[in-house]
């Protein structure tokens, strides 16, 4: 038997109502903040990701699904959505249109990781990108959108963590201090972090290995090196969040290791998730559009993981979608009348079904129950000839005879209270 790929999951019909609810709620919140949906390709040339995500990140170093096209061009399944969105923004000259521009996306991403709960090789993200303004209120819009969305879903125990990465000048002043500090702790660091001291020292701060965390407990904080502009930006973000009643925890270890990231960095975590505790993360990336060949365009965004959201979503939040009407028809005249009735009900917007294999009333009613239908319509040859049918309330078992031509209107009126 051929099986699916490790870390790549089927989302079965029992789970899709949960997914649809999450995606619809995400779209609603994106609409409320004025973000427009963009649909970017699932694969791109490898250079796009290598350049934008950065050669020294986990993603580019070891997590990308990369393969040669038939002409030898190296292609990669997208590991995240920002690179493709920014590429599309530049390629379609969107920068010539009035700024700012606000995009969101929902879709699958691919990373070659060790599969475990909340960590897959094909997973899904909802993300937003707010391009063309450096106003700290844009940072707050992006953070608030993620916070309101997750809170609306009633995910438990959410914490917003936030930090400032300063400007590139601020980081240039801080990095030698950090490197000097890390060199005094080299013996306590994991092999990966030892290498990172030279390639990407900031990333040592968010290493998850406990020994590395302990060793860097009293590392100097980047926030002590903020220029007045960076500090002012950060203060405005924090005070606006407070004004909106969104509480946060300052986390000086929250970093992103690439030059085009700057100022605000944030993450929303939940203690319900265990080791994979990040639900979503984002920040400002003022240098990325220029790095990919566009005009300098400041930007801020986030990406949130839908699998982790789906794991935490309380079941009572998921609306149950039940079909409304079951048509139980029999006989040479009843049966074709049943097919016409099903069609008429569906055309007026009702969910109607029948099991064509059932030949007895008992079998039909069992199927109606199994499907969770509120009503069954009993339609035999006698009813078909009389131009009417018996409507049975599946809960109260009360039955009523209604003319066939009235049935669509009858159920539409009732469906307002379903
Ligand atoms: P982590 O530290 O968990 O590896 P990350 O820093 O790689 O996260 P981002 O690239 O910031 O994650 O992606 C944003 C969100 O996407 C994460 O917070 C998480 O919810 C989700 N996510 C990332 N990688 C995976 C994965 N392999 N499987 C499921 N969800 C993921
Ligand atoms: Mg990761």
Kindly report, residue by residue over 54-110, the tens digit of the pLDDT.
888 889 889 999 999 999 999 999 999 999 999 999 999 999 999 999 999 999 999
- Give the Cα separation of 66 and 77 in Å (integer): 7
Among 332, 334, 336, which residue's Cα sits nearest to residue 379?
A: 334
Q: How far apart, in Å, are the Cα atoms of 380 and each of 211, 360, 377?
A: 75, 11, 10
Q: What's the full length of the chain, in residues?
A: 418
- Nearest protein CA to atom 10 of ligand 1, as residue: 80
pLDDT score, position 258: 74
For residue 392, is pLDDT > 70?
Answer: yes
* pTM of the predicted protein model: 0.93
- The rounded Å distance from CA 37 to ligand 1 centre is 21
Mean pLDDT, residues 387-411 taken together: 96
- Of the listed ligands, the closest to the CA of 270 is 1
Among 314, 286, 88, which residue's Cα sits nearest to residue 171?
A: 286
pLDDT score, position 418: 58
- The rounded Å distance from CA 119 to ligand 1 centre is 8
> Is the distance from the beta carbon of residue 81 to the nearest atom of ligand 1 less than 6 Å?
no
User: How many Cβ atoms from other residues are within 10 Å of residue 306's Cβ?
Assistant: 24
- Nearest protein CA to atom 9 of ligand 1, as residue: 281
- Nearest protein CA to atom 23 of ligand 1, as residue: 305
Q: Which of 203, 258, 305 to mutate to test the pocket of ligand 1 (most atoms within 8 A of CB)?
A: 305
Among 125, 126, 122, which residue's Cα sits nearest to residue 9?
A: 122
Banded model confidence at residue 323, pLDDT cuts 50, 70, 90: confident
> Is the distance from the beta carbon of residue 307 to the nearest atom of ligand 1 less than 6 Å?
yes
pLDDT score, position 414: 87
Mean pLDDT, residues 287-309 taken together: 97
Q: How far apart, in Å, are the Cα atoms of 226 and each of 167, 173, 399?
A: 8, 9, 75
pLDDT score, position 273: 80
- The rounded Å distance from CA 296 to ligand 2 centre is 28
- Give the Cα separation of 325 and 321 in Å (integer): 13
Strand partners, 103: 36, 129
**Which ligand 1 atom is at minimum distance from the Cα of 278?**
18
> Is the distance from the beta carbon of residue 270 to the nearest atom of ligand 1 less than 6 Å?
no
Contacts of 18 (CB under 8 A, 6+ apart): 310, 313, 318
Tokens of 299: 């930007």
Q: Which of 265, 270, 278 to mutate to test the pocket of ligand 1 (most atoms within 8 A of CB)?
A: 278
- Of the listed ligands, the closest to the CA of 123 is 1
Quick: pLDDT tens for 160-200.
999 999 999 999 999 999 999 999 999 999 998 999 999 88
> Is the distance from the beta carbon of residue 379 to the nearest atom of ligand 1 less than 6 Å?
no
User: Phi and psi of 180, rounded to 5°?
Assistant: -60, -40
Q: E strand or H helix at 58, and its extent?
A: helix 58-58
User: Phi and psi of 170, rounded to 5°?
Assistant: -60, -45
**Mean pLDDT (the chain, rounded):** 94
- Nearest protein CA to atom 25 of ligand 1, as residue: 119
pLDDT score, position 417: 67
- Using a pLDDT cut of 70, give the percent of the chain over it: 99
For residue 208, is pLDDT > 90?
Answer: no
**Which ligand 1 atom is at minimum distance from the Cα of 63?**
27
pLDDT score, position 170: 95
Q: How far apart, in Å, are the Cα atoms of 77 and each of 155, 170, 275?
A: 30, 34, 26
Tokens of 181: 């500090």
> Is the distance from the beta carbon of residue 209 to the nearest atom of ligand 1 less than 6 Å?
no
- The rounded Å distance from CA 249 to ligand 2 centre is 22
Q: E strand or H helix at 284, and its extent?
A: strand 278-284
Quick: pLDDT tens for 116-149.
989 999 999 999 999 999 999 999 999 999 999 9
> Is the distance from the beta carbon of residue 276 to the nearest atom of ligand 1 less than 6 Å?
yes
For residue 259, is pLDDT > 80?
Answer: no
Q: Exposed, middle or buried by CB within 10 Å (0-12, 13-18, 19+), for 201? A: buried
- The rounded Å distance from CA 204 to ligand 2 centre is 14
- The rounded Å distance from CA 187 to ligand 1 centre is 29
> Is the distance from the beta carbon of residue 305 to the nearest atom of ligand 1 less than 6 Å?
yes
Please tell me which residue, 415 or 348, carries the higher pLDDT value.
348
Banded model confidence at residue 277, pLDDT cuts 50, 70, 90: confident
- The rounded Å distance from CA 80 to ligand 1 centre is 9
Domains of the chain: 16-167+227-317 (3.30.930.10), 325-415 (3.40.50.800)
> Is the distance from the beta carbon of residue 111 to the nearest atom of ligand 1 less than 6 Å?
yes
Q: E strand or H helix at 158, and its extent?
A: strand 158-164
The β-bridge relationship of strands 122-131 and 101-110 is antiparallel
pLDDT score, position 8: 98
Q: Exposed, middle or buried by CB within 10 Å (0-12, 13-18, 19+), for 213? A: middle
**Which ligand 1 atom is at minimum distance from the Cα of 281?**
11
**Which ligand 1 atom is at minimum distance from the Cα of 280?**
18
- The rounded Å distance from CA 113 to ligand 2 centre is 8
């Amino acid at each position: 038997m051929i099986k699916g790929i490790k870390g790549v999951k089927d989302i079965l019909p029992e789970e899709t109502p949960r997914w649809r609810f999450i995606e619809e709620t995400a779209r609603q919140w994106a609409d409320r903040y004025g973000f427009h949906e963009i649909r970017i390709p699932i694969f791109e040339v490898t250079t796009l990701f290598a350049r934008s995500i950065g050669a020294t990140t986990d993603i580019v170093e070891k997590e990308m699904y990369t393969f040669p096209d038939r002409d030898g061009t190296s292609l990669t399944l997208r590991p995240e959505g920002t690179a493709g969105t920014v590429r599309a923004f530049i390629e379609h000259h969107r920068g010539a249109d009035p700024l700012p521009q606000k995009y969101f996306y929902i879709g699958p991403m691919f990373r070659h990781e060790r599969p475990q709960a909340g960590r897959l090789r094909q997973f899904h993200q909802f993300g937003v990108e707010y391009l063309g303004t450096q106003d700290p209120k844009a940072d707050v819009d992006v953070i608030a959108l993620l916070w309101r969305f997750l809170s609306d879903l009633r995910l438990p125990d959410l914490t917003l963590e936030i930090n400032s990465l300063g400007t590139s000048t601020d980081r240039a002043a801080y990095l030698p201090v950090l490197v000097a500090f890390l060199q005094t702790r080299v013996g306590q660091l994991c092999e990966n972090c030892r290498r990172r001291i030279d390639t990407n020292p900031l990333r040592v701060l968010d290493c998850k290995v406990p020994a590395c965390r302990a060793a860097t407990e009293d590392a100097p904080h980047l926030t002590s090196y903020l220029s007045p502009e960076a500090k002012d930006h950060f203060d405005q973000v924090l005070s606006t969040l407070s004004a909106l009643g969104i509480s946060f925890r300052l986390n000086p270890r929250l970093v992103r290791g690439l030059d085009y990231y700057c100022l605000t960095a944030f993450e929303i975590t939940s203690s319900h998730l265990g080791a994979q505790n990040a639900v979503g993360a984002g920040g400002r990336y003022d240098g990325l559009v220029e790095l990919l060949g566009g005009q300098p365009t400041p930007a801020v965004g986030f990406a949130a993981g839908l699998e982790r959201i789906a794991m935490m979503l309380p079941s009572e939040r998921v609306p149950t979608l039940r079909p409304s009407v079951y048509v139980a028809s029999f006989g040479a005249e009843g049966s074709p009348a049943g097919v016409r009735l099903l069609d008429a009900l569906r055309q007026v917007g009702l969910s109607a079904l029948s099991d064509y294999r059932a030949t007895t009333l008992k079998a039909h009613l069992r199927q109606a129950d199994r499907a969770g239908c509120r009503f069954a319509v009993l339609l035999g040859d006698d009813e078909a000839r009389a131009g009417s049918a018996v409507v049975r309330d599946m809960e109260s078992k009360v039955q009523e005879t209604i003319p066939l031509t009235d049935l669509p209107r009858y159920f539409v009126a009732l469906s307002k209270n379903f």
